[in-house]
Amino acid sequence: MVATKKISRQERWRQRNPKKVWAHVATQSALRRGLIDRQPCAICSDEKAEAHHPDYDRPLMVQWLCRKHHKQAHKRKGGN
């Protein structure tokens, strides 16, 4: 009997969204290498902002948004 490992929800998401994973990895690499700088939220200026990718084909073109505004941006776009 072969034991199968249950795939986590996060791993299933990665398998379904390779372009998004690639964009996230490219962004993290660019931050570490100093190619892009973390910015405050573009809407409310909260210093604790995360990178939002309006276009996953352009992974270094990010909009910096706090968690609240990042969630709103994805909700408007239809859950991406």
Residues 6+ apart with CB under 8 A from 47: 40, 41
Spatial contact of 60 and 34, defined as CB atoms under 8 Å apart: no
First to last CA, the chain: 39
pLDDT digits 0-9 by tens, 2-37: 667 788 999 999 999 999 999 999 999 999 999 999
Measure the CA–CA gap between 45 and 5, rounded to whole angstroms: 43
Enumerate the domain spans of the chain: 9-77
Measure the CA–CA gap between 67 and 9, rounded to whole angstroms: 21
pLDDT digits 0-9 by tens, 36-64: 999 999 999 999 999 999 999 999 999 99
